[in-house]
Chain A
Amino acid sequence: MGKLALPTIQIAGGRIIDPSRDSDEIGDLWISRGHILPTGASYEEAEIVIDARGLIVCPGLIDVHVHLREPGNEEDETIATGAAAALAGGVTSVACMPNTIPPIDSQAAAEFVVLQGQRARQANVYPVGAVSKGRKGEELASLGQLVAGGAVAFTDDGAPVASAALMRRALEYSKMFDRVIMQHCQVPELTVGGVMNEGFESMRLGLAGMPDAAEDIMVARDIRLAEITRGRLHIQHISTARSVELVREGKRRGVKVTAEACPHHFTLTDERLRTFDSNYKMNPPLRTWSDVEAVIGGLKDGTIEILATDHAPHAPEKKMRELDLAPFGVIGLETLVPIVATYLVDPGHLSWPEAIRKLTINPAQLLGIPKGTLKPGADADVTLIDPTARWTIDPSRFRSRSRNCPFAGWEVRGRAHTVIVCGEVRYTLGGIVQQAGALVAS
């Protein structure tokens, strides 16, 4: 669809929350030819009118941490199915991790991801390039060429950059592109063979543990490296109380460090492993209640400025195995909004504008992409959330190709209702989108 063919859309009567402009008001949002129109002006009749009364209208959500498994593991997910799952979760832009086969460590590989994202025409797909060639942690990947291919950040996610020297070089070199280094913080030699958090629960179950200190030590190291290089460091999926404190303290010193938290790390603990269910096996692992409380504390005080899913699809035949053999990771795109609503907004940890800030403008700024805002002229990526919808999570109905969801059967509140990407309605629960002529418009 060319831009001229894109419709004029009136989203009527919703609670428009746009943290990029600190605005939160009831009103109409107009979209024309793929862009946001100034508010307050009067327009001709829209071609599509969406009755948004009772709904939240916000910039399209951005998830800085997803695995789309293409190329290489299309049995788990493809860029098309993952980007469709994103839309069903209210997410209009995703940054996908480079741990594919082959890894995204070259310009051509990055361009392939961009191209597949365009072909899929679901959520916007941004590749994250590898820090090191082949994600081997030995020598820098061609970061500049990755940027030329569309990479918005760098990470060896899944494999921490173990070498302090390489991490230092990456933080220094990436400054010339103003791109962030995202780090999966974990000292590998402390987590060999581990399948869950090390502690009382792992001891009781006889499962090999991964100590929280393995994360803390690398968070501390990398914050110091970011400090001496003045590079940009992003701590992925922060999971321990001590790591949260280290990030808080680093920020206080002016280090360019940011952090993300995942829904499973602020809702679940290692006690879940008593069921031996591999849907509770992820890396970093589920920790303890004091860690969960610290992550929530970090979200509340702004230490953690980003909510991300670490959507990690694995086909059922791979995941439904003995714990030692099952791969790490859980899917999260289609449960992001309800888990945030039910476990952060409902208990009063975050207001809706605070939660939406961590899902829109903050991630947009992290990635340096022109998204996450409803200011006039911006790309019309808009998510409508029904904050009161009550539903039961049923992974069998997901658009993701995988089913490894730790929240199956949970009764939750809040759901993505309608999703607009680049001025097109690409997802709706249905029922409220009306073509002009039979209008709700006033």
Chain B
Amino acid sequence: MTIASPTSPSSGSGTASVAAPTSPLSSWTRKHLLGLEDLSAAEIMAILETAQSFAEISTRSRKKVPALQGRIVFNLFFENSTRTRTSFSLAAKRLSADTQDFSTSASSLSKGETFIDTAKNIEAMGADVMVVRHPTPGAPHLLAQHVKASVINAGDGAHEHPTQGLLDLMTIRKAKGRIEGLTVGLLGDIVHSRVARSNIWGLTKLGAHIILCGPPTLVPRSMERLGCEVANRLDDILPRCDVVNVLRIQFERQQVGLFPSVGEYSHFYMMTEERIRLARPDLLLLAPGPINRGVELTPEVADGRHSAILDQVTNGLAVRMAVLYLLSGKMEARTTQTN
């Protein structure tokens, strides 16, 4: 794959005429981004390289480029989200697209219009891109079969959250200079986590070794078949990790008895200063957020020198710009507008 950097700024930051990314995209073939499982390592790298260029744009005083001018990006969120939706909106705006949010709960939708009907209505309003979050795995895939717009999966149930996976990859790569050969621990509720799955696919394809760590009810042994190591005791594996990605615990899991109490969970898995001392001095700590301070990690650790939590947010914006930009090359030409 030979995707050049999308930016070719002739001068430094602050210039009035920011060039639109102009790289040839002949080798980017996908119209949708539904998951990292589908992507090749080369495609993932192309997104990361593109994101790197956009990250540079974000440091300029004028942050907007005209790549998606005239395009409409719809955020269809059938599940609560503030960060991801805001990040996608901002990414689209920086590419000069128009954005519109459509948020509802899947449960209220189920009483009336179907998901597909809703999406078709939105398409009729001229959406070029639909960024979809939905509690059901496969909902973006269903949508992609029924609309002409490009579909970006912004999280489908416990299945995938590809842009989160990509921003985690980008953050690791920036901090460590590579992915290949690293040992990455994913910690917490793996079985119910879309972030975990996108991390697993992305990291595996780029050559990292993954250790999934948590209680057996949240990290079943069968996950070894995904090519990962499975461990139950954090203290045993922490010394081997270059990176630990701390996944959020959903309290409803405790209510259905998947672990006895939040206190017991924290006892075994909370990242504390004490535990950090077991780790390598250059341990990189990620958390997709929103974080529960005092449950998954202590405030000192969350704000400490190992933490890259805020870098993740910044990189998320660049990754989403890159995805929107790359997919825009495959969007259908709009035939309804003639002038």
Contacts and interface: CB of A to CB of B under 8 A. Distances in A.
A197 to B, nearest CB: 12
Contacts of A325: 106, 110, 136
B110 A206 contact: no
Contact of B197 (A204, A276, A317): A204
Interface string A173-211: 000000000000000000000000001100111110000
B220 A203 contact: yes
B199 to A, nearest CB: 13
B134 to A, nearest CB: 7
B146 to A, nearest CB: 9
A276 B35 CA distance: 13
Contacts of A320: 114, 116
A206 B197 contact: yes
A301 interface: no
A321 to B, nearest CB: 6
Given A207-B157, A321-B115, A276 B137 contact: yes
Contacts of A199: 222
Interface in B64-86: none
Given A205-B159, A206-B160, A322 B115 contact: yes
Give the size category of B's interface with A.
20 to 34
A150 B115 CA distance: 42
Contacts of B106: 322, 325
Indicate the member of B106, B137, B192, B225 with the most A CB atoms within 10 Å: B137
A271 to B, nearest CB: 13
Contact of B137 (A206, A317, A321): A206
Contacts of A276: 137-139, 141-142
A323 B137 contact: yes
A324 interface: yes
Interface string A261-302: 000000000000001100000000000000000000000000
Contacts of A205: 137-138, 159
B223 A324 contact: no
A199 B156 CA distance: 19
Nearest to B143: A322
B216 interface: no
B222 A206 contact: no
B138 A200 contact: no
B226 interface: yes
A200 B225 contact: yes
B91 interface: no
Interface in A298-345: 317, 320-325
B191 interface: yes
A83 to B, nearest CB: 30
B252 to A, nearest CB: 12
Contact of B138 (A204, A317, A322): A322
Contacts of B136: 322-325
B294 to A, nearest CB: 28
B222 A317 contact: no
A205 B137 CA distance: 7
B226 A207 contact: no
A323 B156 CA distance: 11
Contacts of B225: 200, 203
Nearest to B192: A206
B223 A203 contact: yes
B159 A207 contact: yes
Interface string B125-168: 00000000011111101100000000000001111100000000
B139 A204 contact: no
Nearest to A320: B116
B194 interface: yes
Contacts of B116: 320-321
B9 to A, nearest CB: 40
Contacts of A275: 141
A205 B38 CA distance: 12
A133 B139 CA distance: 37
A317 B110 CA distance: 12
Contacts of B220: 203
Nearest to A325: B110
A203 B137 contact: no
A203 B136 CA distance: 14
Contacts of B159: 205-207
Interface in A243-257: none
Indicate the member of A200, A204, A275 with the most B CB atoms within 10 Å: A204
B226 to A, nearest CB: 7
Contacts of A317: 114
Interface string B99-137: 000000010001000111000000000000000001111
A407 B137 CA distance: 23
Given A276-B141, A324-B135, A204 B115 contact: no
Contacts of B160: 206
Contacts of B110: 325
A325 B114 CA distance: 10
Interface string A392-416: 0000000000000000000000000
Interface string B279-293: 000000000000000
A323 B222 CA distance: 23
A206 B142 contact: no
Nearest to A193: B256
21 contacts: A199-B222, A200-B222, A203-B222, A204-B37, A204-B226, A206-B159, A206-B192, A206-B197, A207-B137, A207-B138, A276-B139, A276-B141, A317-B114, A321-B142, A322-B106, A322-B136, A323-B136, A323-B137, A323-B138, A325-B110, A325-B136
Given A203-B191, A320-B116, 18 more contacts: A199-B222, A200-B222, A203-B223, A203-B225, A205-B159, A207-B157, A275-B141, A276-B137, A276-B138, A276-B139, A276-B141, A317-B114, A321-B114, A321-B115, A322-B106, A322-B138, A325-B106, A325-B136
